Amino acid sequence: MLLLSVWVSTLLALLAGFLPAVGMEPLGGANKEPLPSPSGSNCSQLTLKLEFSSKVVEHEYIVAFTGYFSAKARSLYISSALRGSGNDGALEWHIVPRENPASDFPSDFELVHFRQASPSSLLTLEDHPYIKRVTPQRKVFRSLKYIPSPEPAAPCNATRGTQSWQSSRPFRRSSLSLGSGFWHATGRHSSRRLLRAIPRHVAQILQADVLWQMGHTGSGVKVAVFDTGLSEKHPHFKNVKERTNWTNEKTLDDGLGHGTFVAGVIASMRECQGFAPDSELHIFRVFTNNQVSYTSWFLDAFNYAILKKIDVLNLSIGGPDFMDHPFVDKVWELTANRVIMVSAIGNDGPLYGTLNNPADQMDVIGVGGIDFEDNIARFSSRGMTTWELPGGYGRVKPDIVTYGSGVRGSGMKEGCRSLSGTSVASPVVAGAVTLLASTVLNRELVNPASMKQALIASARRLPGVNMFEQGHGKLDLIRAYQILNSYRPQASLSPSYIDLTECPYMWPYCSQPIYYGGMPTIVNVTILNGMGVTGRIVDKPIWQPYLPQNGDHIDVAVSYSPVLWPWAGYLAVSISVAKKAASWEGIAQGHVMVTVASPAENDSEVGGELTSTVKLPIKVKIVPTPPRSKRVLWDQYHNLRYPPGYFPRDNLRMKNDPLDWNGDHIHTNFRDMYQHLRSMGYFVEVLGAPITCFDASQYGTLLMVDSEEEYFPEEITKLRRDIDNGLSLIIFSDWYNTSVMRKVKFYDENTRQWWMPDTGGANVPALNDLISVWGMAFSDGLYEGDFTLADHDMYYASGCSIARFPEDGIVIAKNLKDQGLEVLKQETAVVEGVPILGLYQTPSDGGGRIALYGDSNCIDDSHRQKDCFWLLDALLQYTSYSMTPPSLSHSHSRVTPPTGAERPLPQRLEGNHLYRYSKVLEAHLGDPKPRPLPACPHLSWAKPQPVNETAPSNLWKHQKLLSVDLDKVALPNVRAYRPQVRPLSPGESGAWDIPGGIMPGRYNQEVGQTIPVFAFLGAMVVLSFFVVQLTKAKSKPKRRKPRIKRPIYLQQQQTTTTTTTAAAAAGKNPAV
């Protein structure tokens, strides 16, 4: 048996060495990159650190025109506009030459350098009839760092438990994800984790090989890669149609490797195969080797892509500035010209409200990342979109998720490497889109809307993950192919239904039931119009409640885009509870019918239209109106964010992430706080209008956190009246110090441009105006430090102190470090008895209570180190139920309330530009003045058209498109197919580095290669059988020859004789 075991082990070793494992890359595909490869694995396991920042270039402006004009015409328009200002002779300016492939063609913008531009000259330019907008030129920095993973070697594409990652927004976040798991589990693998991902190519895992065997390999589709370039003779690519350089470096080659990797995921033909090896690759080098780019470079490159009639464009870049108008406008123009743009959603997870532009636009396919076990990547940015805040609500993004961890792609010169990030997931979808486009016979049906419709309708939903994390789900290439090849032009909705009872997918809508008297629930639905680039809503959307399902218990109001362009628009649905359901509890259902019309492009009749009617099912849970003490109103209206202005972070220690850009919403960077309040039984609503626009008798507490906006005088008056009548107020403030604000302004050595903050962490002067009537005020002190309060560990992160408080109030003080002194003079000092918390009961009969705290970081998800949710609970107990926490009222840290005589109160920064972004202020000679108080939002409730039919019990099905039946879209019989391969250059490896020279795929590897494998195994088994039998025969021990047995009668005779003889010897007679 020992010999048999040795033989079997030898046989298996020979077999393993003779044939590669199915789905594994053979040794011939080893990475030859001059980059670290752990433990000599056959591909480098690298973590991609990606960072973006952008700065305004001094004296350079992008002048956008209303159309495309020649260079001579553009120069004449600018010259005539400046002459009209009357100071053309004194103003020194010139047009910056742009030497690139687009310079020979008409353009819609010009780059102008002014020696000293005045605001009047810029305004004069914009007054010209052919000039649309004048915006500063931006310099974009991108940092790509490939860092070998310190973990033990693992197969390429294997999932790792932890990795480090880097933010993709301007200025990285360094405080998140340290020492934590890299992936956010969905629940599918929470009980046990048995297998790692099989190390196969991502194209195979998504079953691109099924389409390859049908003859679809991306042929005839033009795909553009906007990145760092590509080497001319890279062995992985056979159909590079054009390489263009848009930078100021005189090279077309990739000096970083990122652009090569992205192109490889899309169109590599060997080793680490891409999705569409026969597609036409158009390489746009828009980043230098120093990882620098300019907005003008992108604009020229985008124009050239339109000129070249590009079909698919991958953009693995992004940032939070959705108000970079020239860039955003050009993206709209690209998609309007039928360019399908795919972009990474960002690497700023797990924080919510971190979507990057342009992936957050309706007309762009925004891609998030998952690992090979279908877990949402921790680094993948989360929704909602924050364009619509504070007055409305964000849209669902990302659109779709796919593999973005350990994905293999082409190395810079040859071989493969493995990278992670949403900039990796983006080319996966771009490659899939390119492959899908090549499968459609009528290419006129393929446009940005129809492709997105097919992707989201076919996506596989991941369990345990909400829609702001996964969008519509995981990319399913084969189902998308089936849908796209039976597609008829139509409109669709994203999301396709509204179910406020379905958790966790419909979070946050499902996290809180609705009730009479509450703020309307707003759902921002995207309309996708596959019929044409432009469209409109016919008449008005129709609200049809289901009477058997109590649909008449809810009211619905709908607002929508007047024009759907390009390819998309919005449908804002506001849901409220009817008065008759004030004490009712149950489920109510109905649907909204929307008809979309688009001009028929190929209709012979003038004015012909295509129409499509879609249904939006609605399902809500209604509960009786909660008591006033349980209702908390969050003030969203007075929160400002970046963009458009420079609003700094609340924690000055976060030097690498100085911008406040997450929306300050309870469903973005205050999500954990919201979840905590819901778990404590509170109902939290959002105020997206001035304080004059809500009924204070319905609410127990108004919660103001990190407010940057000013206040209308009417708001200050109404709030005083409301608090006298029983409303309570909680304010979490932040730092505000004009000296520190001047100190923390940015200075760019390259552009010599200063960025000055428009406010501090909070607008303390405005808050002081709001609470001054009660003798309260915050100071301009800036403090930080650790302390203990009521047996809880606390951290004060760049907060202010209370400068003035009523003498009969409760004030808590702590010893903290003077952070302002550290910022200004680099000196360290500890200040004793800093007042940080105040509680006050107003003297009026039945009046409310006020609580002040000088720091909001402890309830903000962005950079929170120690949460203070317990403190928020205590303050709500005080404001809602007049229960003063004994731990605070009898605290040893209680001090006499300050009178404010020690130091002057903070004043507004002179020369600040807050009025440019404020909803309250407007420009005025001298100091800015308040605008007139706007009217409160008024919803026009739709007239119900009840239907007496039963609603579906489960609204979640795969979003069906009209005229699409997957059962009727069967996959054709797979036939053998091998894409054409260019002849090998001297020194190159084999065609595909796979036995037989066949493109690796599920069909080839599991059918074509398994036949010789099984034949070889069968032969080995037969040979083993004979060897074992021969071994048994030779190893048997020798046996003695058996004796010849006597016949039975002889044995009996011998026995009888022996018995007689014995009896005679004993003297007995033998028995007869």
Compare 1060 and 619 and report the one with higher pLDDT: 619
Peptide bond into 489 cis (omega under 30): no
800 vs 648, more confident: 800
E-state strands within 468-541: 491-494, 498-499, 521-529, 536-537
Predicted local distance difference test score (pLDDT) of residue 83: 79
pLDDT tier at 1011, thresholds 50, 70, 90: low
Backbone angles phi, psi at 773, to 5 degrees: -65, -25
Both tokens assigned to 319? 């940032």
At 95-136, the pLDDT tens digits run: 898 888 988 899 988 999 887 766 777 778 888 889 988 888
Question: Does residue 388 carry a pLDDT above 90?
Answer: no
Range of 312-326, 951-965, 1028-1042, 1048-1062 with top mean pLDDT: 312-326
Between 141 and 510, residue with greater pLDDT: 510
**Average of per-residue pLDDT across 756-784:** 92
Single-letter residue type at 896: T
Highest-scoring range by mean pLDDT, 636-650, 745-759, 789-803: 789-803
Q: With contact defined as beta carbons under 8 Å apart, do 312 and 622 qualify?
A: no
Predicted pLDDT at 116: 72
pLDDT at residue 1060 in the model: 46
Is pLDDT at 758 greater than 90 in this prediction? no
The answer to whether 108 and 68 have CB atoms below 8 angstroms apart is yes
pLDDT at 547 over 70: yes
Q: For residue 1037, name the pLDDT band (cuts at 50, 70, 90).
A: low
Indicate the DSSP class of residue 104. G
Stretch 373-383: mean pLDDT: 93
Residue 349: per-residue pLDDT? 86
Residue of 521, 889, 1018, 820 whose CA lies nearest to 512:
521
Are the beta carbons of 564 and 535 closer than 8 angstroms?
yes
pLDDT band at 749 (very low <50, low <70, confident <90, very high): very low
Mean pLDDT score of the chain? 81
Mean pLDDT calculated for residue range 191-196: 30
What's the pLDDT score for residue 600? Answer: 86
pLDDT of residue 969: 59
**pLDDT above 50 for 695:** yes
**Which of the four pLDDT bands, split at 50, 70 and 90, describes residue 1065?**
very low
Radius of gyration of the chain (CA): 36
> What pLDDT digit, counting tens, does each position of 126-149 carry?
888 899 888 888 777 665 555 454
Which residue did the predictor score with more confidence, 593 or 991?
Answer: 593
pLDDT-based confidence at residue 1056 (cuts at 50, 70, 90):
very low
Residue 268 has pLDDT above 80, yes or no: yes
Q: Which of 309-318, 353-362, 766-775, 973-982 has the lowest mean pLDDT?
A: 973-982
Encoded tokens for 737: 């110090």
Provide mean pLDDT across the span 969-983: 47
Are 128 and 66 spatial neighbours (Cβ–Cβ below 8 Å)?
A: no
Pairing, β 240-245 against β 280-285: parallel
Quote the pLDDT of residue 1007.
38
In sequence order, which residues have a C-beta less than 8 Å from that of residue 383 and are 6 or more positions away? 352, 353, 355, 394, 395, 396, 397, 398, 467, 468, 469, 471
Q: For residue 656, what pLDDT is reported?
A: 59
pLDDT recorded at residue 104: 85
> 88 pLDDT band (50/70/90 cuts)?
low
Which of 154-168, 474-488, 906-920, 963-977 is predicted with the least confidence, judged by mean pLDDT? 154-168
Residue 32, pLDDT > 50, answer no
Task: Look at 92 and 724; give whichever has higher pLDDT.
Answer: 724
- Residue 185's pLDDT is 33
Question: pLDDT digit string (tens) for 901-930?
Answer: 878 899 998 888 888 889 999 876 667 889
Question: What dihedral do alpha carbons 486, 489, 493, 499 form, nearest 10°?
Answer: -40
Confidence of residue 281 (pLDDT cuts 50, 70, 90): very high
- Which pair of structure tokens corresponds to residue 760? 């501090």
Report the relative pairing of strands 365-370 and 340-344 from DSSP bridges. Answer: parallel
pLDDT, tens only, 433-487: 999 999 999 999 999 999 999 999 999 999 999 999 999 999 999 999 999 999 9
The mean per-residue pLDDT over the stretch 1015-1035 comes to 74
Return the percentage of the chain with pLDDT > 70, whole number. 75
- Tell me: cis bond preceding 504? Omega within 30 of 0 counts: yes
What pLDDT, on the 0 to 100 scale, is given for residue 182?
29
| Confidence bin at 13 (pLDDT 50/70/90) | very low
Strand order in the sheet with 491-494: 491-494, 521-529, 568-577, 554-560
Query: Chain-centre distance of CA 226, in angstroms?
Result: 20
Task: Tell whether the torsion through CA atoms of 756, 762, 763 and 764 is positive or negative.
Answer: negative
Range with lowest mean pLDDT among 28-37, 352-361, 1053-1062? 28-37
Q: What is the pLDDT of residues 853-903, one digit of tens each?
A: 999 999 999 888 899 999 999 999 999 999 998 989 888 999 999 998 878
* Calpha distance 234→274 (Å, rounded): 14
56-70, 329-343, 442-456: least confident range: 56-70
Q: Which residues are catalytic?
A: 227, 258, 423
Distance CA 778, CA 773 (A): 13
- What is the torsional sign of CA 224, 227, 229, 233? negative
Please give the pLDDT value at position 222: 98
Q: How confident is the model at residue 663 (pLDDT cuts 50, 70, 90)?
A: confident
How far is 539 from 521, CA to CA, in rounded Å?
24
149 Cβ neighbours under 8 A, 6+ residues apart? 38, 45, 46, 47, 160, 163
Whether residue 59 is predicted with pLDDT greater than 90 in this model: the reply is no
Task: Characterize the bridge pairing of strands 568-577 and 521-529.
Answer: antiparallel
Q: What is the mean pLDDT of residues 716-731?
A: 97
